[in-house]
Structure 1
Amino acid sequence: MAVIIAFSAIAAPSAHAKKLPAFQAKEAYVMDAKTGQVLYQKNADAKRPIASLSKLMTLYLTKKAIDTHKIKWDQKVPVDEELIKMSKDPTLGGFRIKRSGEFTVKDLYKAALIASSNSAAIALGKLVGGGNNTQFIYMMNQQAQKWGIEATFVSSSGLDNTDLKKYHYQVPHTTSKAQNMVSASAISQVAAKVLAEFPTITKWSSQSTMKVGKQWLVNSNSLLKNKVYYRKANHVDGLKTGYTINAGLCLTVTFWHNGRHLIATIIDSNSVFTSMDRLIQQIDKKYQKVNVTVKAHQFKVGNQSLTATPQESQTAIWRQNANQKPQSVKYRLTQKTGQVTKGDPIGYAEVGLSNSRGVAKVPMIAATTIKPNRQSKPAKKTHHQSLLSSIGNMLIGIFTGIYKLMVNFAKFMAR
């Protein structure tokens, strides 16, 4: 709760405070949640501390574990004494845990998402990691590497090692001051993965408050309904706030514009809610949606033909002026060999604009399953065939030698 109060106090307007600029942030990024088209960026690829925005990766991997039946929403989560102690620390808390197994996966998921509970996030990560916190941090980094995003994780909560070591949660072989280092573009892409994996998460993330057990979770996202910076026209429905002294005020929001879900991230801003409000208004004002039809396409995987269908047959690309025209759709294959299972993404449809670097990508999904063709192996020769072949080769060699001797003798006699 103290963290939430601190976040709100720093971000809230003050009558005596010096007036801040309308938009102020060290890093910023705006993208289409489905196509990944970048609408705005500022220092977006620079890795830096992101505080509790890190929890988005923990929430993604937790939901993935649920969907693959490794854990369940309603199962009780074991919580060790160190995390129970952390939950009672007013500077790191936000959600009190009295005993192990007190709360379910769903309870702790909500606590990590809405109240930004550090102990809840770490407990979830540990559960997904098979009871091993270090293993879960490894999973976070592996997932980031698989997606090709700029991120280095040492914590499932966003706390740095100066706090984690007090509770014996510092990952081995990391420095005493190590912290999660992630770019604005990377954490925005993680948010997009969360939305794709769990579209209804916004039913929770859009709530200003929510009750779990006997505790009220308080959402520190002041752009939501019933909050200080709420604007109905912004259509904000999530997603995550973050704050540490090193990271500053951080915010990743999901919002709707012209029927599309967009994601915006601001990192290290002294006026994070004012700046995000300004950024959303500018996006609404400057960008118009153009609908584009994407069709099924025939790809060649190995030496086999495979039909792939678009994840969405009607997609959109954003433009800033009417002179920017959608270009013809290009189909790119990413899986060129190996087995393909029905439902796998094997490439993408790329939609571009004239006079613009903006590109929208729509995943292309395999319509059927194919297995790689096995190349026929040459038939093994029998011992009898091998013997005859050897004798034949020997006789040919003898006759060839005799023929050459006769030719040379004839040449000698002709002198």
Structure 2
Amino acid sequence: MLIFTTFFANFPTKASAVELGLEAEAAILIDAKSGKILYELNADQTLPPASMSKMMTEYLLLEAIHQKKVSWDQEVSISDYVYKISQNRSLSNVPLRKDIKYTVKELYESMAIYSANGSTIALAETIAGSETNFVKMMNDKAKELGMKDFKFVNSTGLNNKDLLGMHPKGTGETEENMMSARATATLAYHLINDYPEVLETASIPVKKFTKGIDGEGITMLNWNAMLPDIPGYLQQFAYQGVDGLKTGSTELAGYCFTGTAVRNGMRLISVVMRTKSQYARFEETKKLFDYGFSNFVEKELFPEGYQLKKQSTLKVTKGKEHEVEIAAKEPLTTVIKVNEEELYEPKLILDEKALSKDGTLVAPVKKGQKVGYLTYEYKGENNFGYLFDDGGLHETVDVVTQAKVEKANWFVLSMRAIGGFFVDIWSSVASGIKGLF
């Protein structure tokens, strides 16, 4: 009666990459809700992420804000190290002053919008006391988030040689942060899902930084040229639905970009690494977004109340009724390739802990009691899997009982036991007689 189906049927197999003509050394495209990978190219190759590293600084800052270890209006004094870095206008910076203090929010905005390196180091010092301590936090958090193929040596993503001999202790003078496209996408996935407010700042196309040198303001034009409201000549790269996330470039990294866009309720995250120019990274990202939004759709595979034909009920022991119906508590929705609904088969995974040894429920049973979950098995091709080893577990809905079953009284249970006793005797006698002939 009890059919226990294994979840391993849902585990993905790698597929050959769809040809998009990408001019990037590595790339990946994922569904931001589930972490499902829609496209990948050299996704595990470790490359310098440049200022895309600042997504980890953003993550740790937002985490500290939520934990009330740091506040937005907290004032920050500028150290000698931060001051010297911030004066280098060949790098992305707002020149900071030592004679005034800046709020955490001001520094954060200059980092998220303008990729200001001095501001980033100032935030690292505020959170951890020193950039050296902060780098340890970055690497520890990366492991906690399930990132693989990464190494952080500073908070900014610059090459250490640009830090004027003041790079974090224990790191090499010419070292640079390293991440794979998959690791970068993993970081972006957690940043957007854990702290979605990051997009409120990342999507600001232009803003004035008022505390410049001698009180002069600095216009911060967002380096993300794909923002729909980006002004001037950059409008040629604007893309509907883009609201983040982080650009990066160094001599070693080339030009890279982690982008995110939402259309019709479906949010995608893309990463392109080592493209040929400042604007090529947006052109290559456009190819990924065009592919994703044209070929994939968020679809309800199985509605609320869905029942498998061969397993719509479970037997109940010691109950007034002998069985109870079970069904999906919520609809199961996922991102699928257009017109591929027929390639998704339902899979019921029953919870052994909720059942007796013989695979039945034991009365009393509550209405809405969880007995397992519903997932799916994909029968198509080009299945790249998920960012995480247990990714498929995030695309499930609970399966619950549809009615309550009260426990039968002692008399009914006794009669059933007696009836079962005589049935067993009769079966034994019948089998013995049958064996004579």
TM-score after normalising by structure 1: 0.69
Name the SS of the counterpart of 2:344 in structure 1. Answer: coil
CA contact (8 A) 2:208 2:220 kept: yes
- 1:321 offset after TM fit, Å? 4.1
2:179 corresponds in structure 1 to 182
Match of 2:344 among 314, 322, 326: 326
- Alignment partners' CA distance in 1, 2:239 and 2:334: 21
User: In the alignment, residue 353 of structure 1 is paired with which amino acid?
Assistant: Y
Structure 1 runs of 4+ with >3 Å offset: 229-234, 292-296, 312-315, 329-333, 347-352, 358-361, 363-366
Contact 1:32/1:261 (8 A) holds in 2: yes
User: In 2, are the aligned partners of 1:30 and 1:40 still within 8 Å (CA)?
Assistant: yes
Q: Which residue identity is paired with 2:140?
A: Q
CA contact (8 A) 1:229 1:274 kept: no
Where do residues 147-162 of structure 1 align in structure 2 (5 Å cutoff)?
147-150=145-148, 151-162=150-161
Deviations 1:336-395 (A, max 9, x none): xxxxxxxxxxx99865522243455528899xxxxxxxxxxxxxxxxxxxxxxxxxxxxx
Does the alignment pair 1:285 with 2:273?
no
Match of 1:355 in 2: 380
Query: Where in structure 2 are the equivalents of 1:298-313 lying within 5 Å?
Result: none
Q: Distance in 1 between matches of 2:91 and 2:239?
A: 34
CA distance in 1, matches of 2:266, 2:45: 27
Root-mean-square deviation (CA), in Å? 3.0
Q: How far apart in 2 are the matches of 1:96 and 1:240?
A: 21
Task: Give the length in aligned residue pairs.
Answer: 316
Report the counterpart of residue 250 of structure 1 in structure 2.
256
Query: 2:343 aligns to what SS in structure 1?
Result: coil
Instruction: Compute the displacement of 1:68 (Å).
Output: 0.6
Counterpart CA distance in 2 for 1:123 and 1:231 is 32
Shift of 1:116: 0.3
Structure 2's unaligned 5+ residue stretches are 1-19, 211-216, 306-327, 352-371, 387-391, 399-437
Q: Aligned residue for 2:58?
A: 59
1:256 aligned counterpart, secondary structure: strand
Within-5 A mapping of 1:62-211: 62-99=61-98, 102-129=101-128, 131-150=129-148, 151-164=150-163, 166-168=164-166, 170-211=167-208
Identity, % of aligned pairs?
30
What is the CA deviation profile of residues 226-247 of structure 1, one whole-angstrom value per residue up to 9, with x for unaligned ones? 3525566641111111000100
Task: Measure the CA separation in 1 of the matches of 2:89 and 2:237.
Answer: 31
1-structure distance, mates of 2:106, 2:275: 31
Q: What is the aligned partner in structure 1 of residue 26 from structure 2?
A: 27
- Counterpart position of 1:223: 226
What letter matches 2:38 in structure 1? L
TM-score normalized by the length of structure 2: 0.66
Which residue matches 1:260?
266
Letter in 1 for 2:195: F
Distance 1:49 1:328, change over 3 A: same
Structure showing greater Rg: 1
SS of 2:268's partner is strand
Whether contact under 8 Å (2:243, 2:261) holds in the other structure is: yes
1:221 positional shift: 1.1
CA contact (8 A) 1:290 1:319 kept: no
Please say if residues 23 and 274 of structure 1, whose CA atoms lie closer than 8 Å, have aligned partners that are also in contact.
Answer: no
Partners of 1:146 and 1:365 in 2: CA distance: 26
Do the aligned partners of 1:349 and 1:362 also contact (CA within 8 Å) in 2? no
